[in-house]
Structure 1
């Protein structure tokens, strides 16, 4: 007999061309009741293209009317942009969104850490692995965490192989140096899979879970594959990830945390959920 799967949620990015009302209605029709939402997304902005407290309450009600809650906001941006004016703009924007979390009913906000690459936050830059970058990251996280704690919110970091936070070891170091008050991680092992890890996934997953799962209140559902452009993280079931191994670890180590679908289109949701459910068939009670 297989274990029950983690509760399935979905990222608002799946519905880029939809209004809040359309998004909520379609999500509800699929019996999904939790969303990780980005306040900056076109369909969630007001008529003037703005996000603010009043609009946050409106969006929350639109989803609540469909019995959907928004436990997590998406605040993804380059926290370590090497152009300091752009970096400060990003940090100020993040602080604004943290303050909006209570209006959405969201106790969490998630972001990546970013890269020192001047043109693309998803590209690697040698400075990412320096102590200078680490010190900058610590100072930025301390700043954002203070705002988070002041507003009853937990800041969740999502690692990525080309970012400053790019290994489970760095995640451990971050918690060791800063503590976990108002700070945690998104369990997204696909982002941390180096090319060689795809050939030894069980060991890689063990290392990632050991470092991150004690501080992860949410998880993401996608996949991992390497192309000539580097790591790609497509819809679950379309890459090289051993989903049965991911399901095994989630069910045993974090059965209560939600699993948010991402990197797919609305018409792919049904098949994606079926694939994930099948992955749990290998997990015995």
Structure 2
């Protein structure tokens, strides 16, 4: 089984050629790529991307057998400041237009927060806020349809699209195939007894045909939130999740998320060992 990572978890920045070579050395065939991080200097922290830069990245990655599976443009698409919201939506639409230059088919984001500081707030979970968020996503999907690209939405507990049920509501409201889901079971753990393996199974059962990619992370649950750990040191059964994905959607994109910068080689070793054991 092949797995991917976020490209910026390999700490090589503003040098696509060197980054691509390192990803090949680590035996990764696909990645999630965030210009805001991996090309922070070249893009003014992701604000300015262009077709030529996308082509440069694509050529470097193609030469090393690496695919950009997900182009990341994670931003607060429901920022309460209307000026800021307009700016990030314009930026996301630019990413949709340029995505194919990077060799990517999908641009992904979470759904943001009614609180611009991203502190937990019940205001994210009101029917009004959920409907507002769906309307914003519809605007992005309409833009994606025009340029032949896909919008990827990653649900999470601190966002308006915060559960499997609300994700189903979103997909029913926007039946367009240009809207896809990036499913991270760990990001939907609301309580200590929530099992990410069961969340994964339920998500695949309920809307598997709209899942573009999976995110996987290890963590421990503390009080009312999860804390990320190196792979193999938390409570998440990563191997079980990989086996579910491989059985239900063979060769699907499975991307390790939020790898610890201090233990990345350890985490990568664990991941590669688990993936190689799955036939």
Scaled by the length of structure 2, what TM-score is found?
A: 0.88
Question: 1:86 aligns to what SS in structure 2?
Answer: helix
Q: 2:216 is matched with which residue: 209, 214, 221?
A: 221
Q: How far apart are residue 269 of structure 1 and its match?
A: 4.7
1:192 aligned onto 2:196: no
Q: How far apart are residue 266 of structure 1 and its match?
A: 7.0
Q: How far apart are residue 98 of structure 1 and its match?
A: 0.9
CA-based RMSD of the aligned residues comes to 2.5
2:109 aligned partner: 111
Q: How far apart are residue 250 of structure 1 and its match?
A: 0.7
**Contact residue 106 and residue 151 of structure 2 kept, 8 A:** yes
Q: 2:142 is matched with which residue: 140, 146, 149?
A: 146
**Contact residue 20 and residue 59 of structure 1 kept, 8 A:** yes
1:252 aligned partner: 247
Which whole-Å CA distance do the structure 1 matches of 2:259 and 2:29 have between them?
A: 18
**Contact residue 55 and residue 101 of structure 2 kept, 8 A:** yes
1:13 aligned onto 2:8: yes
Which whole-Å CA distance do the structure 1 matches of 2:116 and 2:264 have between them?
A: 35
Q: 2:257 is matched with which residue: 256, 262, 265?
A: 262
1:135 aligned onto 2:161: no
Q: 2:155 is matched with which residue: 152, 159, 166?
A: 159
1:94 aligned onto 2:92: yes
Q: How far apart are residue 197 of structure 1 and its match?
A: 3.5
**Contact residue 184 and residue 216 of structure 1 kept, 8 A:** yes
1:80 aligned partner: 78
**Contact residue 235 and residue 263 of structure 1 kept, 8 A:** no
Q: Which has the higher contact order (CA 8 A, sep 6+)?
A: 1
2:35 aligned partner: 39
Question: 1:233 aligns to what SS in structure 2?
Answer: strand
Question: 1:155 aligns to what SS in structure 2?
Answer: strand
**Contact residue 225 and residue 233 of structure 1 kept, 8 A:** yes
Which whole-Å CA distance do the structure 2 matches of 1:209 and 1:124 have between them?
A: 27
1:53 aligned onto 2:48: no
Structure 1 gap ranges (5+): none
Residues 235 and 210 (structure 1), Cα distance of their counterparts in 2 relative to 1, 3 Å cut: farther
C-alpha offsets along residues 3-44 of structure 1, whole Å, 9 cap, x if unaligned? xx2x21221221345322221111111121212111223536
Q: How far apart are residue 188 of structure 1 and its match?
A: 1.0
Residues 223 and 70 (structure 1), Cα distance of their counterparts in 2 relative to 1, 3 Å cut: same
Residues 78 and 251 (structure 1), Cα distance of their counterparts in 2 relative to 1, 3 Å cut: same
**Contact residue 218 and residue 230 of structure 2 kept, 8 A:** yes
Residues 178 and 8 (structure 1), Cα distance of their counterparts in 2 relative to 1, 3 Å cut: same
Q: How many residues align?
A: 276
Q: 2:236 is matched with which residue: 241, 250, 275?
A: 241
C-alpha offsets along residues 123-165 of structure 1, whole Å, 9 cap, x if unaligned? 3222111121112112111110011111111111111111111
**Contact residue 171 and residue 211 of structure 1 kept, 8 A:** no
Structure 1, 237-246 or 35-44: larger mean CA deviation: 35-44
